[in-house]
Amino acid sequence: MYDLVIRGGSVIDGSGAPARTADVAVTDGRIAAVGDRLGPARREVDADGLLVTPGFVDIHTHYDGQATWDPYLTPSSWHGVTTAVFGNCGVGFAPVRPGTTDYLINLMEGVEDIPGTVLSEGVPFNWESFPQYMDALAAMPRAIDVGAQVPHAALRFYVMGERGADHAQTPTGEELDRMARLLEESLLAGALGFTTSRTTKHRARDGRLTPSLSAREPELFALARAMNRAGRGVLEVNSDFGPGEFEALQAAAAIARRPLSCLLVQVNNAPDLWRQTLDQIRAARAAGLEANAQVGCRPIGVLLGLDTTVNPFSAHPVWASLRQLTAAERYQRLLHDADLRQRLVAPAPEGTASIFAAQLSKAYPLTGAGLDYEPEESRSVAALAAARGVDPRALALELMMADGGTGLLLHPFENYCGGNLDVVHAMLTDDATVLGVADGGAHVGVICDAGAPTYLLTHWGRDRTRGPRLPLEFLVRKQTREGALAYGLADRGLLAPGLKADINVIDFDRLRLRAPQVVYDLPAGGKRLVQRAEGYRHIFVSGVETLRNDEHTGELPGRLVRSM
């Protein structure tokens, strides 16, 4: 007698093999069998006409803080994610000395756009060392599994203090030894990796560049030797990949004898740099280094609305009178005050114009059932305004005031230089890439890409019209087994006997993204953008149903995953 049998679904098992109609049986939280007409079970789920896949593995999130207060880790758990890895990009909350939490909060607020008040109230900081942080994570029941990585910025600041955030300073030999020792201890305690940021895009709230930006090769190599001694963990990097940068990272990974994972996006100021970096990763792989590029599946875009962090008018002096209002109050003021609307859409005084107001040819309405994340230029706000003979700023305001003031505009700023997703198609189909730019838990007031797993299946597997689609078997493998193996999580991401029973049962015909929305559900009443989905009939974590018909069941079987 099995505990659970999911019967007669179209099984896409995560290996890349063709879909087949089969039953999936579960016993004691593990997959017991996959085959035809399996025996009886205590519970049976009719999956006729539904997809059955492994639970999705998201290796690039920023739930470092949210994981300490939210057992559901939304939005990711609404989108089939059953394992989430955080601590990416060199930022996080451990190790931390008592009395120094303000700096880590300031850094996370600046780099990942998570409000400082939210973090101050929500994160308990009842730990000092990274192993103690993992123990705190392990003690909290949750809906999905989580894994944590050691962030370079926190480690450096812990050992060096304020000198660690001063880019004119370098660590002493004693400080290098201490950083390396703490990293080794953390990896042996179960950290899944060590992460560093080497991009000028990452700044603390007070404007200071992220501490790890100026870490020189002696520091990288000392930490790499610690990884080598531990024999565990991935070296994850977010970098601008300037001259000589990849070579230094490759050398560090070779010393560590551990996998190298590099964030890869197309940036507007160097639209072909991603190709050069991917060529370097391929060459490193050919030379025997285990390396990959973490890529996304849709454009990375800022969402512009009346209640988001930024919009085309947020720098306009007239907006100052609206900034402190509630969303409802702001909408009512705009709705009933025509003079206010006219003053708002008038050109802003010199020095106060938002870049988003000047670039409405690159902003698109994110409305309708389709939620078009691959819009054509003819659908930009500027093009639509020209066709109607109206001011683009006036149209932008009109679109944001739609649906009671909840309308949103999408401003793609990465992965969309060509005005389509052909570059993303090239990234996805390269065998040196894994999925990893969804950023769940981060950029909560401007970006909401945690729904990427749902978008991956719907857009690339079913709905795309502006270019080739991709087979579902390929897409599922990309979101499951490949991500799991990239982090050494060989017990998941595949529907096979003996492996962990993390399973999605999906009504693929109905699967769709809902529109992003602003909600006020963070600690201290903080706001964030969330995006839900429709079509997830059942989600199981270790054989326990955590979501049914797109709603959480209240079950919390998720655990902290430690490296082995």
Q: What is the pLDDT of residues 119-156, one digit of tens each?
A: 999 999 999 999 999 999 999 999 999 999 999 999 99
Q: pLDDT at residue 340 above 80?
A: yes
The alpha carbon dihedral of 212, 217, 220, 226 has a sign of: negative
What stretches of 18-72 show up as alpha helix (H) in DSSP?
none
Per 3-state DSSP, the chain is made up of helix, strand and coil in percentages (nearest 5) of 35, 20, 40
Q: What is the side-by-side order of every strand in the sheet holding 81-86?
A: 56-58, 81-86, 145-148
8 Å CB contact between 517 and 436: no
Query: How far is 224 from 233, CA to CA, in rounded Å?
Result: 10
Q: List, for residues 180-213, the tens digit of each pLDDT value.
A: 999 999 999 999 999 999 988 888 888 888 889 8
Binning pLDDT at 50, 70 and 90, where does residue 459 land?
very high
Compute the average pLDDT of residues 57-84. 98
Q: pLDDT at residue 353 above 80?
A: no
Identical fold, 2-54+503-552 and 56-299+416-486:
no
Q: pLDDT at residue 564 above 90?
A: no
Q: pLDDT at residue 369 above 80?
A: no
Share of the chain above pLDDT 90, in %: 91
Compute the average pLDDT of residues 24-48. 98
Q: pLDDT at residue 102 above 90?
A: yes
pTM, full prediction: 0.96
Selected residue with higher pLDDT from 113 and 392? 392
Q: Which two tokens stand for residue 461?
A: 């597997």
Determine the pLDDT at residue 74: 98
The rounded mean pLDDT for the chain is 96
Share of the chain above pLDDT 70, in %: 99
Binning pLDDT at 50, 70 and 90, where does residue 290 land?
very high
Determine the pLDDT at residue 203: 87
Q: Which two tokens stand for residue 424?
A: 């993303």
Binning pLDDT at 50, 70 and 90, where does residue 330 land?
very high
Domain 2-54+503-552 grouped into CATH 1.10.287.10? no
Compute the average pLDDT of residues 75-79. 98
Q: pLDDT at residue 260 above 90?
A: yes
* H or E stretch at 44: strand 41-46
Q: pLDDT at residue 368 above 90?
A: no
Determine the pLDDT at residue 154: 96
Which of 105-109, 496-500, 527-531, 544-548 is least confident? 105-109
Going from N- to C-terminal start, the domains of the chain cover 2-54+503-552, 56-299+416-486, 303-413
Q: Which CATH superfamily groups domain 56-299+416-486?
A: Metal-dependent hydrolases (3.20.20.140)
DSSP string, 9-45: EEE--SSSPPPEEEEEEEETTEEEEEESS---EEEEE
Q: List, for residues 231-242, the tens digit of each pLDDT value.
A: 999 999 999 998
Compute the average pLDDT of residues 444-472. 97
Compute the average pLDDT of residues 272-279. 97
Residue 488 DSSP code: T
* H or E stretch at 334: helix 327-336
Binning pLDDT at 50, 70 and 90, where does residue 21 land?
very high
Query: How far is 230 from 106, CA to CA, in rounded Å?
Result: 31
